Chain A
Amino acid sequence: MSSHSVNASKFVANDERMHWHDQALWFVREKRDKASKSIPEWEQLREFANQIKTHTMANLDTYLLQFEENATKKGIKVHFAFDALEHNQIVAKILKEHNVTKLVKSKSMLTEECHLNPYLENLGIEVIDTDLGERIVQLRNEPPSHIVLPAIHLKKSDVSDTFHEHLGTEQGNYDPTYLTRAARGALREDFLTAQAGLTGVNFAIAQTGGVVVCTNEGNADMGASVPKLHIASMGIEKIIPRLEDLSVFTRLLARSATGQPITSYTSHFHAPVEGGEMHIIIVDNNRSQFLASEKNKKALNCIRCGACMNTCPVYRRSGGHSYEYVIPGPIGSILGSKKEPEKHNSLPFACTLCGSCTNVCPVKIDLDSQLYSLRQDLANANLIDPKKKMAMKVTAWLMSKPALFDFVGKMARKIIPKLPNSILYNKANVWGKQRDLPKMPPKSFKEMFKDGELDD
């Protein structure tokens, strides 16, 4: 069994929790449907977004340099990082130069990808995630299970237990307002005592040299405004050309993510705070290999709304941790298996190719087609189960011999009905674990046709 299916079967084993998870995410999908259908030009917006992103990625060299130039003019220090390690080193260097001992972070999947927190903690720097969901999973020492809803795998009672242990809240008090206020109180203290704030970036505007961060909790604003030092980390693909392009994405992003018309805060950072410093770190970390791939380059168009996760019937029933990659669900399966095919070879197969993700994607990434083609890439690189590969070869060979195929079918229809269930439903029959096999008819259609039984 592949690693995703092993993890998924564990998640499914708790039927009540699995259905609760499925329903929670389906609820978000339904909110997204309502929000997207309130805009008549929705499909046109998706197409605009697709074209803007595709154009930008095709001219990324130009736009990145334009962004750097304009950001620098605004007094922002721009750094380029080749990979995760270089990113972490740059962050650490900036923090060391400012004698930072405590860093507040707003949500940034890139820093998750770079494993920034443990890197800084090893250097003796305290890192506080300030997004509520991120804070919950940080206290639990877990990775986020969703890119927008990091703690969606947890129930109120889980959060209560965690807060009781770490924040001293009342045991057994599951009231969300009470728990949120407790987190808020603790975080307020962290915002006031941290010497630096790190945020992610939703959009970086080449024309203006500024970055835009979309949040619902205002935590990015606190982190970027209270301490004098603001570091914004972004992947190279966050660039959009012009300020006016932003409107296309802000209209799509929150509606796709949570069904909100817009995030509570859409914050523009175009300069350091007075008397402070602002740094932007632009990270590649294997993104440029997508630019070089005709089949996978559109994966870079992703604006990280999470809609493909919410709609994915497999994600909803297996949970984000089952993917074992920083970004789960359909887009994560593409990014993970392309970047590290040996490690994440099961991910493109954790999918029924239902295509819902492609339809729901606000920037029209061809997710299901990419998952299909990544399967081919994995098989060609001998990264699928050799038994399966052989079985497929044999099946294809058999199917290329019509007479032999007919004969094998005939034999199966003769023999299988005579087998007792104890043999038929043996351990190797995975299909039959929870499903009956179809009943074998006495004749195939071809035999009925040949025997003239069709026109009775």
Chain B
Amino acid sequence: MRIGLFIPCFMNELYPNICKATYKLLKNQGLQIEYPLNQTCCGQPMANSGCSKDVKKLAIEFVKTFKDFDYIVAPSGSCVAMVKEHYAEFFDNDKDYNKVKASIYEVCEFFHDIIKVENINFNVSFPHKVGLHNSCHGHRVLKLATASELNIPYDSKLKNLLNTISDIELITLRREDECCGFGGTFSVQEEAISVAMGKDRIKDHLDSNAEIMTGADMSCLMHMDGIINRDKNPIKVMHIVEILAGVKP
């Protein structure tokens, strides 16, 4: 089983240690991980800004880079959602794209659905109060958990994984899946609302006495981390793979 590691552009530049945790987490499961070096960006920021036309070249490159892997795994729900949901317009029912679309996974989704929880032992203790921020694209597009709006049986792939960690205490938030307000270029175009939403999301965690806020999308966490650091809030942000990989806060 060949696995292609897709590292979102901003994570490569800003969060190499989280990328490393992702890499090691996969490797520790005895999987064959390859990291294609010519990858850059899935094009999501441009497409969400209305400029999907500019993304075509990136999409074609992406598919070329990753088409031969059995699975493509990335530590970001929204970048995976971009490839799955918004690339179709660049490909006319193309066989390579269809394969990529079917084989790309957010890393937690990959562990949960392909490796399966019963086959995993992260062998990690994390004795902290943790709040899970469900980033919207992973949550509602990839359906990593049941959205609160729907009347269907509840499940959460992220919580199922976190619950395999010893000594972790997952706190309950007042608003299970409220958006944090990052939203790509929304974060600067609608700066006031974006920050207000981020502050509210952080407050929900603080009010629940969470020491750590985690999630599967570093972009949302980066936005809230920026507010947390500015406001000196007593909470720390960690990507979910860091917790699963045994990184200490």
Q: Is the CB of B193 within 8 A of A399?
A: no
Which residue of A5, A18, A379 is within 8 Å of B50 (Cβ)?
A379
On whether A445 and B12 interact (CB within 8 A), knowing A318-B193, A375-B50, A405-B40, the answer reads yes
Q: Is the CB of B197 within 8 A of A445?
A: no
Using Cβ atoms and an 8 Å threshold, which residues of chain A touch B182?
A: 352
Q: Is the CB of B20 within 8 A of A454?
A: yes
Interface residue ranges of B8-33 to A (CB < 8 Å): 9, 11-17, 19-20, 23-24, 27
Least Cβ–Cβ distance between A126 and chain B, in angstroms = 39
Q: Is the CB of B229 within 8 A of A436?
A: yes
Q: Is the CB of B136 within 8 A of A33?
A: no
B91 within 8 A of A: no
Using Cβ atoms and an 8 Å threshold, which residues of chain B touch A401?
A: 40
Using Cβ atoms and an 8 Å threshold, which residues of chain A touch B53?
A: 376, 379-380
The stretch that binds A, out of B41-49, B97-105, B121-129, B238-246, is B41-49
Chain B residue with the shortest CB-CB distance to A22: B200
Quick one: CB contact mask for A300-315 with B, threshold 8 Å, 1 for yes?
A: 0000000000010110
A9-B191 Cα distance, complex, nearest whole Å: 8
A446 within 8 A of B: yes
Using Cβ atoms and an 8 Å threshold, which residues of chain B touch A445?
A: 7, 11-12, 15-16, 19-20
Q: Is the CB of A435 within 8 A of B58?
A: no
Chain B residue with the shortest CB-CB distance to A12: B192
The stretch that binds B, out of A34-42, A69-77, A128-136, A201-209, is A34-42
Q: Is the CB of A393 within 8 A of B51?
A: yes
Quick one: CB contact mask for A1-42 with B, threshold 8 Å, 1 for yes?
A: 110110011001101001100100010000001001101101
Which residue of A26, A355, A435, A441 is within 8 Å of B227 (Cβ)?
A435
On whether A441 and B17 interact (CB within 8 A), knowing A8-B190, A353-B136, A356-B179, the answer reads yes
Which residue of B17, B35, B46, B190 is within 8 Å of A392 (Cβ)?
B46
Q: Is the CB of B175 within 8 A of A26?
A: yes
Interface residue ranges of A72-114 to B (CB < 8 Å): none
The stretch that binds B, out of A117-125, A268-276, A426-434, is A426-434
Which residue of A12, A359, A378, A400 is within 8 Å of B196 (Cβ)?
A12
A34-B24 Cα distance, complex, nearest whole Å: 43
A402 within 8 A of B: yes
Least Cβ–Cβ distance between B182 and chain A, in angstroms = 7
B93 within 8 A of A: no
A38-B11 Cα distance, complex, nearest whole Å: 43
A152 within 8 A of B: no
Chain B residue with the shortest CB-CB distance to A377: B50
Which residue of A43, A311, A349, A432 is within 8 Å of B189 (Cβ)?
A349
Q: Is the CB of B49 within 8 A of A354?
A: no
Chain B residue with the shortest CB-CB distance to A443: B16
Q: Is the CB of B52 within 8 A of A354?
A: no
A420 within 8 A of B: no
Q: Is the CB of B179 within 8 A of A313?
A: yes
Chain B residue with the shortest CB-CB distance to A359: B149
Chain B residue with the shortest CB-CB distance to A9: B192
Least Cβ–Cβ distance between A362 and chain B, in angstroms = 11
Quick one: CB contact mask for A159-178 with B, threshold 8 Å, 1 for yes?
A: 00000000000000000000
Q: Is the CB of B54 within 8 A of A435?
A: no
Quick one: CB contact mask for B34-78 with A, threshold 8 Å, 1 for yes?
A: 010111110101111111111101100100000000000000000
On whether A396 and B54 interact (CB within 8 A), knowing A375-B48, A431-B188, the answer reads yes
Using Cβ atoms and an 8 Å threshold, which residues of chain B touch A186?
A: none
Using Cβ atoms and an 8 Å threshold, which residues of chain B touch A400?
A: 40, 57-58, 61
Which residue of B39, B51, B190, B226 is within 8 Å of A389 (Cβ)?
B51
Using Cβ atoms and an 8 Å threshold, which residues of chain B touch A405?
A: 9, 40-41
Q: Is the CB of A349 within 8 A of B12?
A: no
A323-B17 Cα distance, complex, nearest whole Å: 41
Q: Is the CB of A412 within 8 A of B197?
A: no
A372-B27 Cα distance, complex, nearest whole Å: 36
Q: Is the CB of A2 within 8 A of B14?
A: no
Quick one: CB contact mask for A261-301 with B, threshold 8 Å, 1 for yes?
A: 00000000000000000000000000000000000000000
Least Cβ–Cβ distance between B179 and chain A, in angstroms = 4
A-B complex: 4 closest residue pairs judged by Cβ atoms: A435-B226, A352-B183, A379-B50, A9-B192
List 27 A–B pairs whose Cβ atoms lie within 8 Å, in order of A's numbering.
Answer: A5-B189, A15-B196, A22-B200, A37-B151, A313-B179, A349-B186, A350-B190, A352-B184, A352-B186, A353-B136, A353-B183, A358-B140, A375-B49, A379-B51, A392-B54, A399-B41, A402-B39, A409-B12, A430-B191, A431-B188, A432-B226, A434-B227, A435-B223, A436-B226, A446-B7, A446-B37, A449-B37
A residues touching B (Cβ–Cβ < 8 Å)? 1-2, 4-5, 8-9, 12-13, 15, 18-19, 22, 26, 33, 36-37, 39-40, 42-43, 311, 313-314, 317-318, 348-356, 358-360, 372, 375-380, 384, 388-389, 392-393, 395-397, 399-402, 405, 409, 412-413, 430-438, 440-441, 443-450, 453-455
Contacts A436-B226, A441-B16 aside, 5 further interface pairs with beta carbons under 8 A come to: A356-B136, A380-B50, A392-B51, A400-B57, A438-B226
B residues touching A (Cβ–Cβ < 8 Å)? 7, 9, 11-17, 19-20, 23-24, 27, 35, 37-41, 43, 45-55, 57-58, 61, 86, 136-137, 139-141, 147-152, 175, 177-179, 181-198, 200, 222-223, 225-227, 229-230
